[in-house]
Structure 1
Amino acid sequence: MNITEIDVDSYATRVAFVAAAELHALLSEGEGSHFMPACADEAALQQLVEETGAFVIAHGVEKGETVWRWLHERLGGLAPWAAVPEERRFALDLFAVTLRELRQRLAIRQIEAERRASLPPPNPAPAIEDTIFEPVGSLGEMEPWAAEAVAGMARFDQAQEAERELQRKAEIAAREAAEAAEREAAKPARAATLSAGKAAPKPAAKDQPKGLPKVPNRQKPRGKAPASG
């Protein structure tokens, strides 16, 4: 149950009656409810308590004597206040004070609850990233998206560098192959290799003049020389 749904007058009256009855029972060692005038039955007593509570609330009563005088005027036949036993006086005083104080406090709480209920709902709290309290790293620390972008650019540069290196090596290899081909073409042609078992052809003899007799190659016989006389 919400506090705004409580009947503060009835609730405060019943609480004040219970408190006063408890005090009267402790002081008189008798029936607590006897601090009120005698009634025919329980229903009549409850009706009298409700009417007495309404009187206290309407007139802002603070003293038990005022309550007793009002009961005397309504019911008649009651003893004067000076002849009322002390424990009954204390109970009537407690009834008036408790009822007035509790009713006032409950009424204030109800007003505050109704005022809060009439207010518009509070705005939702902003996200932490939308406030000045968002946690920020050091000045040298990049955001995750920035770090990923830098890493992506570094990977792209590495790929470009690797491609340029492959192209450079291919150009060097092509140039070296071309230079080797040029050197091979500049060398003199080698003689054809002879097959096994074939003799090299003899050079052709030079032409000699015809008609000249061949002169035999005469050589002196080798022997001992004649002895001289």
Structure 2
Amino acid sequence: MSIVGAGFPMRVSNMLAGALGAAIVAGSPASAAVMMATFYGSTDFGGYDYAGLFGTPDNSLAYKSMSLTFVYDTALGVRVTTAGEDMVVQSGGLNPILSASITIDGVTLDLDLPDYGYASSTDDYWTWLSARGTNPANYDNELSAMVIGSGMPGDLETPFMTYGYGGGSLRLWSPTNFGEALAETDFNLGGVEVAYVGPSSPGPVPEPTTWALMIAGFGLAGAALRARRLAAS
């Protein structure tokens, strides 16, 4: 006795179409955007420019006006969003921090920090970004900043500006001589502004589990079509 009754192919087709849709929905990435976070403040008392990256070599960086900027893409890395908190961190070689720069006393330095990136915003609490670049012959180069205060949206894709208090640090090391610093300073920060730059581009590459779901969905859809042909014959 055949199990392919008069109404069976249609029911199976509907079920499998639903499974295919569920697979595609399950693998769909969340909305994503490229954003720019700019922090404002001053260096603290212990900063020093050994290599002259911001002017004269062997010069103090103490108590100078500064700002630093991160451009980040929320589609890159692993993103975790909960009530009132949004975080994205590097994973699988995808760094959410696209670029980082710092300006001290009017001199801007673009930084190459491709090996680790982190961005976090917590509702009415903090905005925190960090990036790091490995240095095979020395310690890692790094830039980080955090401002604590009210007005943070808890969403990495919502533009805002707020004042608060916080800090961060810059550490740059020689690529050839172990233990030799090029420049280092800590910061006293008093404000942060996050602005929209544009849509995430290119789109995120689907995870292996996403591909598996989609392939399984297409396979089930093909089985439904074969069942329909058998019923018609």
TM class by shorter chain equals under 0.3
Q: Which has the higher contact order (CA 8 A, sep 6+)?
A: 2
**Given the two structures, how large is their TM-score scaled by the length of structure 2?**
0.23
Q: Which has the larger helix fraction?
A: 1
